[in-house]
Amino acid sequence: MNITIVGTGYVGLVTGTTLAELGNSVYCVDIDEKKVEGMKNGIVPIYEPNLEEMFLRNIQSERLFFTTDLKEALDKSEVIYLALPTPPGEDGSADLSYVLKVAHDIGEMMTEYKVVVNKSTVPVGTADKVREMISSKTNLAFDVVSNPEFLREGFAVEDSMNPARVVVGSSSEKAKEIMAKIYQPFTNTGTPIIFMDEKSSELTKYAANSFLAVKITFMNEIANYCEKVGADVDKVRLGMGSDDRIGHRFLFPGIGYGGSCFPKDVKALIKSGKDDNFDFEILQATEKVNIAQKVILSSEIEKYFGGNLKGKRIAMWGLAFKANTDDIREASSLDNIAILLEKGAEIVAYDLIAEENVKKLLGDRISYANTMYDALEGADALFIATEWPEFKNPNFSLMAKKMNNKAIFDGRNMFPLELPQQNGFYYKSIGRKT
């Protein structure tokens, strides 16, 4: 099948590459000429494990193409995926201007039947808005389908090649058949495809992300209470997670959820609810708890140093919002850096993958180390903000030698409780004894 993907951000690029890998001819459209030129020359604009290999293979096999010309791509394709940004506006609502602009252009440019697929996370009712926009520009037949993406950064290739489910919201039988054909390679091997109406599909995406955000936040509150009563959240987590109605996944407490999805989607669902006179109380509480959780360790550091952080050198291991990504959007590291700098501390950070992105944002307001151990040179405390695997089993005696003061504030519960303590460190983690 010939498919156009409009928007080569995270979701667009991974979706396009996956659909090419499944044997389709995929035309990726973006307005950013430099980016398109780069991709034509085999440059993947994002960091994602295993993506580059698949991307290059499909360019070479002439199944994956890049252009800035929407009309050219449109003329070749029956199916158009929209994978455009929907950034939160001031009030938290998703900004649909990119999506609607492209819908407008599709309406003006199309010359025969098209299926327009909303892949971006969009509020309930967006398929109707896209439909209205296109039909204001053309009398030709078309269908609008909602087909949310559930991939995780860092596992995007794995998730998109082995989806747990495919959700398709469509009220048109013709469009459903076309979507079923696209995803046949998955359904053939047992992946369920769940058809529903457009609105339910749009809400499924928000409900899934918000539920996971609630799950993490619930665990963070249990962790904080564990500290109060002297319980150990690791034990509680194992005990709870063994019930398969609860499950072990997404029960890891830490310094709050970040990234480009959960904070944005929780906010957007609260806002949509408000617009419909509906109060998502559980989500409002989740957002509030998460904001506080992100900076919980900065208060602990301040307490540890008797309220005075002036001139204290804090090493920070990890800057990305989670491991296996260079993404720093809504990363807890940034909230803590802001507070610690404000209180007069110095920060030396180490994160080989995310460093460039932080440099663009903070420049030389913090310094950057080449290795995790270099960051510790003369440090008064270590703050672990991201769970990169290389931090899991460090050389504690080397750490002790490098540091000026042996204190670890671990936002990701990286070590068994006893380990740093046996090595003479003050060790503050989340939901466990200090």
Interface positions with ligand UGA (CB under 6 A): 121, 149-153, 209, 212, 216, 250-252, 254, 257-259, 261-262, 321-322
Q: How many whole angstroms separate alpha carbon 371 and alpha carbon 356? A: 15
Could you tell me the smallest distance in angstroms from the CB atom of residue 347 to ligand UGA?
A: 20
DSSP code of 364? G
Residue indicated by tokens 């296996």: 324
Considering the complex, state which of residue 102 and residue 122 has its C-beta at the smaller distance from ligand UGA.
Answer: 122
Q: Are strands 313-317 and 142-146 parallel, antiparallel or unpaired?
A: unpaired
Could you tell me the smallest distance in angstroms from the CB atom of residue 300 to ligand UGA?
A: 17
Residues 153 and 237 sit within 8 Å (Cβ to Cβ): no
Residues 56 and 33 sit within 8 Å (Cβ to Cβ): no
Two tokens, residue 222: 């249990």
Considering the complex, state which of residue 82 and residue 110 has its C-beta at the smaller distance from ligand UGA.
Answer: 82
The CA-based angle 387-389-391, given to 5 degrees, is: 75
Q: How many whole angstroms separate alpha carbon 80 and alpha carbon 126? A: 16
- Give the SS3 label for residue 6: strand
- Give the SS3 label for residue 184: helix
Considering the complex, state which of residue 322 and residue 428 has its C-beta at the smaller distance from ligand UGA.
Answer: 322
Could you tell me the smallest distance in angstroms from the CB atom of residue 166 to ligand UGA?
A: 13
Considering the complex, state which of residue 1 and residue 240 has its C-beta at the smaller distance from ligand UGA.
Answer: 240
Q: 201 burial class (0-12, 13-18, 19+ CB within 10 angstroms)?
A: buried
261 catalytic residue (yes or no): yes
Residues 73 and 4 sit within 8 Å (Cβ to Cβ): yes
Q: How many whole angstroms separate alpha carbon 36 and alpha carbon 30? A: 7
Q: What does the chain come to in residues? A: 434
Could you tell me the smallest distance in angstroms from the CB atom of residue 65 to ligand UGA?
A: 25
Considering the complex, state which of residue 77 and residue 290 has its C-beta at the smaller distance from ligand UGA.
Answer: 290
Could you tell me the smallest distance in angstroms from the CB atom of residue 227 to ligand UGA?
A: 17
Could you tell me the smallest distance in angstroms from the CB atom of residue 144 to ligand UGA?
A: 20
Considering the complex, state which of residue 58 and residue 209 has its C-beta at the smaller distance from ligand UGA.
Answer: 209
Q: 34 burial class (0-12, 13-18, 19+ CB within 10 angstroms)?
A: exposed
**365 HSE (CA, 13 A, CB side):** 14
Residues 320 and 353 sit within 8 Å (Cβ to Cβ): yes
Which residue, 63, 56, 104, 65, is CA-closest to 82?
104
Could you tell me the smallest distance in angstroms from the CB atom of residue 394 to ligand UGA?
A: 20
The single residue of 11, 261, 347, 384 carrying the catalytic annotation is 261
Q: Where in the sequence numbering do the catalytic residues fall?
A: 261
